[in-house]
Amino acid sequence: MEPKEIAKGIYVVGGPEISHPADCCVYLVDAHSEQVLIDAGAGPGAGPILRNVHALGFDPADIRHLVATHGHIDHVGGISKIKEITGCRVIGHQADRDAIELGDRRLTAADLYGIEYWPVKIDLILEGDGEDHRLGDLDFHFVAVPGHTPGSIAVCLDLEEGRVLFGQDVHGPFSDGWGSDIDEWRRSMEKLLDLEADLLCEGHAGVFRGGDVRDYIESQLRRYRQI
């Protein structure tokens, strides 16, 4: 599998088959004057992720922003190296700050992966239920979706092709060890359904389009109905 464009200006540049087996799906948004990376993988795949960005015709030095959708190592482990190389600004939520900035192995779930995590500072700290920020030439809507972790966030973009939603780890899982709350997660999933996205870029399950977006989120709600 190779890095590829999945919608105009939206690319998959990381994941188990294209960067490292421990990586989540990592997405690149071409915001025209700047590039935005959604998550960074577990760490060992950081170099391949940047090489994939280059292979698609982009200069990794133009990655000016990196969104940490939550504090688990398979999503944030690569931030330290990528930030060192690109100088990008890290965006994350206050409620996952201890995981990302302090590197608690329980909160980052690093012990599950056997990978060392290098803590990083969040440059733009999101608070509350939602914020809008203009990155490059695009307006990014950040939505708090607690449940999987306390500080999980989704990212929404309205583009010519429709509404794109980066909803990492819609599928869970859940653990008291990293602060999961299944009832909050259910409310968060309803919030994502209300966005009526045309394209869902999920953190492990891949890409869903059209009616499959709603079907996938609702299937996860049914899956955890009895918990």
Q: Is the peptide bond before 173 cis (omega within 30 degrees of 0)?
A: yes
Phi, psi of 55 (to 5 degrees): -65, -25
The CA-CA-CA angle for residues 28, 18, 11, to 5°, reads 20
Domains of the chain, each with CATH number or no CATH: 4-223 (3.60.15.10)
pLDDT score of 66:
98
Percent pLDDT > 90 in the chain is: 92
Percent of the chain whose predicted confidence (pLDDT) is above 70: 99
Mean pLDDT of the chain: 96
Note the pLDDT of residue 220.
95
**According to the model, what pLDDT value does residue 31 have?**
96
CA distance 191 to 11: 25
Distance separating alpha carbons of residues 39 and 154, to the nearest angstrom: 11
CA dist 140 and 117 (Å) reads 28
pLDDT digit string, tens, across residues 196-226: 999 999 999 999 999 999 999 999 999 988 6
pLDDT for 225: 82
What pLDDT is attached to residue 117?
94
Q: How confident is the model at residue 71 (pLDDT cuts 50, 70, 90)?
A: very high
In tens, the pLDDT along 87-144 reads 999 999 999 999 999 999 899 999 888 899 999 999 999 998 999 999 999 999 999 9
Strand partners for 164: 157, 199
For residues 154-179, one letter each, b for 16 or more C-beta atoms within 10 angstroms of the residue's C-beta and e for the rest, the string is bbbbeeeeebbbbbbbbbeebeeebb
pLDDT band at 227 (very low <50, low <70, confident <90, very high): low
